[in-house]
Structure 1
């Protein structure tokens, strides 16, 4: 049995996924307002808060989804299957543009890719029995991993890590910790993870590179990524991955801190007392993160321990504000937009990544240079949006906001007809 949904948490999730959609879909990656860009390396912009917020929210939701803390083999199987379904959704995103069948190309190939995509989405998001879900998720996972290491040229360098993959892993460990341990043990595990990660990154020499460091491509996390996932890493770096193996460990701590806040929200205290507690915790976490930043820089790509504390603290403060406004002051009229985004996060996460890939796969003649082809996304942006604006930053932002409006309409229809797609 699940507890009644906490509106403020759904609104927070909706705001986060909406912001993610905007920052991931500019009209031009060359023209982005600074707050909508990731920090170059160390540091934290509003965009760098999106991913940890989502993991924090997921952790916060765990006590609401599993209030009884009952644990048996059936519960364990559900956790495993849900984790792998999330993992496979993210993994398939990396495969979409690689799918090759015989000699198909152009629109026929795109249609086939979309057909396969809907089949995979139905298999992973469909409301089947646990037994069927288990068969389907292991079949899809086995097929994707086989292709990655099959030697087929189209898949030999496909990326294996990713955002949803990390979320699936964090969900698995966070859920098990919640069901099998008490709050004190959970916080102890989080502390050990953060200290151990700092120790590994700051004190262990890096094979082939020498002294411990926190620089791009030469740190311990990068070396582990390149050693274990060589050829299957982020295309922009090739030798390391921002969602890599070692840096996923501190992300688990982000999930645990979210569970900490979720358990406070479930206390039999007055709502004002809960607001005070979460607010104080948020401030403490932010301060601790800033202090740790002096020796272990806040860094999203490395998911440093200081980054975990800092972003979890800001997330706690944001949730405190929303909880007070919505659940204490009962001011809810403005929440509908964020609610429709918050109750259907996975469908947006998955298909908002598919649509740009599909648009990029459709080639048309360049109106300015007929002998040259451009993709449909570039055509829409360059010839229908850019001419309207004198500032390219505004044009790029308008495209992103238009895409968000497009998704808002879809999600409003889902919400109206009570269509909620759960993993």
Structure 2
């Protein structure tokens, strides 16, 4: 039987619940600031969610592959799972209600959340199978420093590089050159090609945490808090030279988000696995089918935004009819809608868990 650490399951589930919450407000025109992404540099609580998931992907890799051998069979399983994640992401981006149920090729976005999870999982798992923790630290440092150098030193078509949202931003320029019309925005993609390099380190940080949690070290919570605090300090110092930025997934962003992930996981670990306090079961249920819940929430939300009811959509009609009231601010109405969506998927997670239905992607 695979070793289970309750705090890891709770952290994974809480992360996927937050991903659903921030992705499904009642209306994007009225969202409380902490539930929005930073406009460019800096970060909000919402900006922590995706790197937290990549972090816990790395931690889960340790549990899944620590006793595996690096052979063709293991590589095949890793590759198949990677292709499934990428395929699901491309399907989400391409699906439409009108026949033939797919957008025109030129309008399909190639990068995406599930695509990035798949690619990061692939490289993090392969690296974990082939190198010890000391080498992985060296690889992580090389990726972060190398990305910093690439983004700040290399000119773009003869123009000095910038970290602003501009044509001479190397990451943005590369996405436009490689993906063309297949980006999230015309000039950049937050899950772009070059920024995938540091995002792999977000998962490697989770691997280091997983190795600590499965080790015979004492006071694991203290160690994780020390690592988390150190990452936060280094990340915020690096922010002076390489600004914290989710859209570019900068090296400082990797360290700051990994720092918060370690601090929060350390607290949950101390309370649940050390002190044996009972809480967060609903998050554990959500974590058991995390990718399934995320895919379903994204797919159903997309369909509700496509179905027309009069001058609005099914989503808009439901929000306007059931959630908007004169005695309530539009922001609060929007939040309540999102919380209702979260409640639905938490209930679904509970039912799946109780029936022992675990859909592996």
Counterpart for residue 285 of structure 1: 231
CA contact (8 A) 1:364 1:375 kept: yes
Residue 107 of structure 2: SS of its match in structure 1?
coil
Count of matched residue pairs = 360
Q: Determine helix, strand or coil for the equivalent of 1:360.
A: helix
1:184-238 per-residue CA deviation (whole Å, 9 max, x = no partner) reads: 0101000000000000001011126x1111011330000000001001000xx21
Q: Corresponding residue for 1:175?
A: 125
1:361 and 2:306 correspond: yes
Question: Is 1:77 matched with 2:76?
Answer: yes
Whole-Å Cα distance in 1 between the matches of residues 308 and 177 of structure 2?
Answer: 37
Tell me which structure has the larger Cα radius of gyration: 1
Which aligned segments of 4 or more residues in structure 1 are displaced greater than 3 angstroms? none
- Within-5 A mapping of 1:195-234: 195-207=145-157, 210-218=159-167, 219-234=169-184
Aligned to 2:192: 244
Q: Contact conserved, 1:98 with 1:154, CA < 8 A, in 2? A: no
Of 211, 216, 219 in structure 2, the residue corresponding to residue 268 of structure 1 is: 216
Structure 1 unaligned segments of length 5 or more: list them: 102-112, 114-146, 148-152, 366-372
8 Å Cα contact 1:100-1:154 kept in structure 2: no
**Structure 2 SS opposite 1:97:** coil
- Is 1:318–2:264 an aligned residue pair? yes
Task: Describe the superposition over 1:346-381 as per-residue Cα deviations: whole angstroms up to 9, x where unpaired.
Answer: 11111100111111222122xxxxxxx211110111
Alignment of 1:1-40 (within 5 A): 3-40=2-39
- Please give the alpha-carbon distance, in whole angstroms, between the structure 1 residues aligned to 2:210 and 2:217: 13
Deviation at 1:98, TM superposition (A): 6.9
Structure 2 contact 97–306 (Cα < 8 Å) conserved: no
For 1:256, the equivalent position in structure 2 comes to 204
Q: Secondary structure at the match of 1:42?
A: coil
Q: Distance in 2 between matches of 1:202 and 1:33?
A: 33
**Paired residues of 2:58 and 2:207 also in contact (CA < 8 A):** yes
Structure 1 residue 388: deviation in Å?
Answer: 6.1
- Correspondence for 1:406: 344
Q: State whether residues 235 and 256 of structure 2, in contact with CA within 8 Å, keep that contact through their aligned partners in structure 1.
A: yes
Secondary structure of the structure 1 residue equivalent to 2:240: coil
TM-score relative to the length of structure 1: 0.83
How many Å separate the matches in 1 of 2:306 and 2:232?
A: 43
For residues 396 and 389 of structure 1, what CA distance do their matches in structure 2 show? 14
The secondary structure found in structure 2 opposite 1:404 is helix
Alignment correspondent of 1:57: 56
Give the TM-score taking structure 2 as reference length.
0.97
* Alpha-carbon separation, structure 1, partners of 2:327 and 2:151: 46
Task: Give secondary structure in 1 for the equivalent of 2:280.
Answer: helix
CA gap 1:188/1:261 in 2 versus in 1, 3 angstroms: same
CA RMSD of aligned residues (A): 1.4
The equivalent residue for 1:135 is none
Hey, what's the Cα distance between the residues in 2 that align with 1:313 and 1:155? 40
Question: Structure 2: which 5+ runs fail to align?
Answer: none
